[in-house]
Amino acid sequence: MAENGEEKLIAVARHIAKTLGHTNTMTEDILRIFSNFDGRLREKLSDDGVKQTLNSLDRKISCFISADATIWSNSADFYSFLDSVDQLTAAVREWTPLADDKNISSSLDRAEDLLQRSMFRLEDEFRALMEPGAKSPDSTGGGAAHHPDYSDEDDDASVEDDDNCVPVAQPVTDYDVVVDALPAGTIGDLHEIAKRMVAAGYVNECSQAFSPWRKEFLEESLSRLGLQKLSIDEVNRMKWTQLEDEIEKWIKAINVALRILFPSERSLCDRIFLGFSSAADLNFMEVCRGSTIQLLNFADAVAIGSRSPERLFKVLDVYETVRDLMPEFELIFSDQHSLSLRNEAIAIWKRLGEAIRGIFMELENLIRRDPAKSAVPGGGLHPITRYVMNYLRAACRSRLTLEQVFEESVAPSVDCRDGDDKALSSSSSLGVEMAWIMEMLECNLEAKSKAYREAALCSVFLMNNWRYIVQKVKDNELGTLLGDDWIRKRTAKVRQYHANYQRSSWSKVLGVLKVDSNSTSPSGASKSLKEKLKLFNSYFEEICKTQSSWVIFDEQLREELRISVSGNLLPAYRSFIGRLHAAPDIGKHMDRHVRYSVEDIEARISMLFQGTSSGRR
C-alpha cells in the first residue's frame, strides 16, 4: 500500500513538473525542488533528473564549445561557461559513486565525455589568453617594465598588454620592479580556467598551455639583455676582451633575471595557480629552469676557463655577483621542485671560488718561473715587482671577497653573510697567501740579483725593488694583511742593502784616503800621499762613471744615498786634502795633483744614479 501510494505521489510530482515547466530547464528545476522537499522523491526522481541535468548542461556547454570566437572575450559568456563546467564537474563527482546503476553509468559516460570536451576548450582558451599579444592584434613588442603602481590599472581585458611583455634592456638601477607580463584581468581569467582544469585532473594539459610562452618570454628577455647562449668551449676560445664584455652583459642579465624576471614569474604562477601550490611550484620551475641553467652555465664556463692572472678581477665580479644573488636564489628556488637549481647555483659559486684561488696559484707559478737571468740595466725596478705589487694592491681592494674565498678553502661551508664580523679573524688564509706570494717574489728577485756581477749593483737592485715593495705595501689593505712586523722587517732589509752598497762600493775609496801613520819620513809620506791621491782619483772616476748610469727610482732614496755617500766621503776627502796642503812638496803645487775640489766631489756624487739618460756621456 505504502509503496503504491509513493509511486502515485511520484507520478503526480512528475506530472506537475511537466505541466508547469514550459522548458526542460524549468521542469528540471521543479523536480529539483520536489526532490529537495522530500527525501523519498529524490531517489526516485534521480534517474530522470540525472539525464535532464546532463541534457541541460550539454546544451549550454556544447553551444560554447562550438563557438568560433574565444569565449573569454565576452566575460558574461565566459563566466556562464565556467559555471556550467563547475556544475558538470560537481555532477560527475556526485554520480561517480552511483556508477553501478546502469542508467547513471551511461549518463556518467556522457558527462565525462562532455567534461573532456570542455577541458579541451578551456585549454584552448587558456592558451589563447597566454599568447603574447593575444589581446592586441597589432603588437610591436619592445615595451617597458612597469612599476606595480600603474601596471595594475590594466584590468580592462581589452587594454593592450604586449607592452608589458618585455623588460627594457636599459641600465637597471632600481630592482624594485615587477614585470606584469599579463594584465590583472587576464591573470584572473587564467586563474579561473586553471582552477577548473586542475580540479578536473587536467593539470598536465594546463601547464603545457602555460609554461611554453613564459619560457620563451624569459629566453627572449635574456637575449634582449644581450646574453648569448655560449657553450663552455666557446667561452674558452673567446678572446679575453670579448669575454670581458660578455661578463658585463651576464652580470646585468643575471641580476635582472633573479631580481625582476624570476620573481615576476613566481608571482604570475602563484596568481594563476592560486590554491594549487604544487602546480604553481612545478610550473614555475618549468618556466625558469632553462634560463637559470643558461645563466649558470656561463658562470660555470668562466670558472672552468683559463687561470691567467689578469682574469682575476672579472672572475671576482662573477663570483661576487653569484654570491650577492644567493639570497635571491634561496628565496626563489626554495620549493622541492626547484631546489636542484639552487644547489647548482651554490656549487658554481664555490667553483668560482676555486677558480680565484687557482688564479693566485697561477700567479705564484708565473713569479717562480720567471727567468732569473733577465736583469734590469742599472739595477732599477724590475717589471715583475711593479706588476706583482700593483696587482696585489688592486686585488686587495676586494679584500673581503678574497678573504671569503681563501677561507672557504679551509672550511668549505663558510656562510658568506657572516663575512663582515668575521673580517678581522678571517684574514689569516688570505694573509698567508699574500705572504707566500711575497716570498715567491723575494726568492725570484734574489735570484735575479745574482745576474749582476758587481756586488754594489746587486745591492742597488734589491734596494730599489724592496723600497718599491715597502712603499706599495704601506698604508693599504695589503699592508694590513701582511702586518706591521712584515713591513718593519722589509724596511730593515732596505737599510741592510744600503749598508751593503756603501761597503762594497765605497770602502775601497775611503780606504785610500785613510792616513797611513806608519810612514814617518816626510818625503815618503808625501810620496805615498801623491800615490793615494792618484788612486783616489782613478777609483772615484771609475765609480762615478759606472754609477751615474745606475738607477735609483725613488727620489728620496736617491737623495738619502747621495747624502750618506757624501757624508762618508767628503769629511775624509777634506781632511785628506788638508793633509796634502800640509805636505811640504805638494802643498805648493796643489793644482797639479788635486783634480777634484771638495765641491767637485760633491757635484759628482749628486750626479750618481741618474740612469742611462745622463749616464755614460
Partner 1 sequence: MPATDFQESSSSPSSFGFSILSRRRDQVHSMESTHEATSQEIELEAFQRQVAERFQDLAAADSHELLSIPWIRKLLDTFLCCQEEFKVIVMNNKSKLNRPPMERHISDFFERSVKALDVCNAIRDGIEQIRQWQKQLEIVLCALGNQRSIGEGQFRRAKKALVDLAIAMLDEKDSNTTLAHRNRSFGRHNAQREQRSFGHFRSLSWSVSRSWSAARQLQAISSNLVAPRGNEIISTNGLNVAVFTMNYVLLFVMWALVAAIPCQDRGLQTHFYMTRQFLWAAPILSLHERILEEVKKRDRRNSCGLLKEIYDIEKCARHMNELTDSIHFPLTDEKEREVKQRVEEVRRVYVAIRDGLDPLERQMKRRKMIWATVLGIKRVKSLNLLDGPSYLLKKLQFSPYQKKNIEQLKGIDTIIAKSKQAKNPTTAQRVNTPGALERPRLAEDLSSVYNPSLMQMLGAAKRASNFILFKDLWPPNSLKSKGK
Instruction: Indicate which single residue of 20, 67, 339, 361 sits in contact with partner 1 (rule: CB under 8 A).
Output: 361
Task: By CB under 8 A, name the one of 83, 142, 278, 600 that touches partner 1.
Answer: 142
Supply φ then ψ for residue 551, to 5 degrees. Answer: -120, 130
Question: How is residue 78 written as a grid cell?
Answer: 565566459
Q: Nearest approach, Cβ of 446 to partner 1 (angstroms)?
A: 14
Q: At what angle do helices 555-582 and 522-547 cross, to 10 degrees?
A: 160
Binding status of residue 148 toward partner 1 by CB under 8 A: no
Q: Which of 21, 212, 226, 419 binds partner 1 (CB under 8 A)?
A: 212
* Contact flag: residue 103 with partner 1 (CB under 8 A): no
Shortest separation between residue 207's beta carbon and partner 1, angstroms: 8
The answer to whether 243 contacts partner 1 (rule: CB under 8 A) is no
Stretch that binds partner 1, among 33-41, 107-115, 145-153, 507-515 (CB under 8 A): 107-115
Q: Is 61 in the site for partner 1 (CB under 8 A)?
A: no
Contact status: 117 vs partner 1 (CB under 8 A): yes
Q: Which of 266, 152, 166, 163 is nearest to 216 (CA)?
A: 166
Residue 308 interacts with partner 1 (CB under 8 A)?
yes
393: contact with partner 1 by CB under 8 A = yes
Buried b (16+ CB within 10 A) or exposed e, 390-399: ebbeebbebb
Give 297-315 as a DSSP string.
HHHHHHHHS---GGGHHHH
For partner 1, the closer CB: 117 or 593: 117
DSSP code of residue 556: H
Q: 19, 170, 204, 277: which one contacts partner 1 (CB under 8 A)? A: 204
Which amino acid, 102? K
The residue from 290, 335, 500, 602 that contacts partner 1 (CB under 8 A) is: 290
∠ Cα 134 136 141 (to 5°): 90
Identify which of residues 203 and 533 has a Cβ nearer to partner 1 in the complex.
Answer: 203
User: How big is the CA angle at 237 (ends 232 and 238), to the nearest 5 degrees?
Assistant: 100
Q: What is the DSSP letter of 171?
A: P
Check: CB of residue 387 under 8 Å from CB of residue 447.
Answer: no
> Does the footprint of partner 1 cover residue 347 (CB under 8 A)?
yes
Q: What angle do CA 513, 519, 525 make, to 5 degrees?
A: 60
Window 457 to 486, contacts with partner 1 (CB under 8 A): 483
Q: Is 289 in the site for partner 1 (CB under 8 A)?
A: yes
Does the footprint of partner 1 cover residue 339 (CB under 8 A)?
Answer: no
Q: Are 13 and 41 in contact (CB under 8 A)?
A: yes
115 binds partner 1 (CB under 8 A): yes
How many chain residues touch partner 1 (CB under 8 A)?
Answer: 116
**Rounded to the nearest whole angstrom, what is the least distance from the CB of residue 362 to partner 1 in the complex?**
5
DSSP letter at 583 equals: S
Decide: is 208 part of the binding site for partner 1 (CB under 8 A): yes
Which of 181, 376, 462, 594 forms a contact with partner 1 (CB under 8 A)?
Answer: 376
Residues 315 and 356: beta-carbon distance below 8 Å: yes
How far, in Å, CA of 408 to CA of 532, rounded?
67
Site string for partner 1, 528-557 (x = CB under 8 A): -----------------------x------
Site string for partner 1, 418-447 (x = CB under 8 A): ----------xx-xx--xx--x--------
Confirm if 164 and 146 have CB atoms less than 8 A apart.
Answer: yes
| Residue 368: count of CB within 10 angstroms of its CB | 13
Q: Does 226 bind partner 1 (CB under 8 A)?
A: no
Find the binder of partner 1 among 129, 190, 268, 375 (CB under 8 A): 375
- The three cell numbers locating residue 186: 587576464
Report angle CA 595, 600, 601 to the nearest 5 degrees: 90
Q: Which of 67, 58, 76 is nearest to 115 (CA)?
A: 58
Interacting residue with partner 1 among 7, 47, 109, 475 (CB under 8 A): 109
Site string for partner 1, 10-49 (x = CB under 8 A): ----------------------------------------
317 binds partner 1 (CB under 8 A): yes
Q: Select 224 or 579, whichever has its Cβ closest to partner 1.
A: 224
Q: Does 268 bind partner 1 (CB under 8 A)?
A: no
Quote the CA–CA distance of 94 and 110 in Å, as a whole number.
14
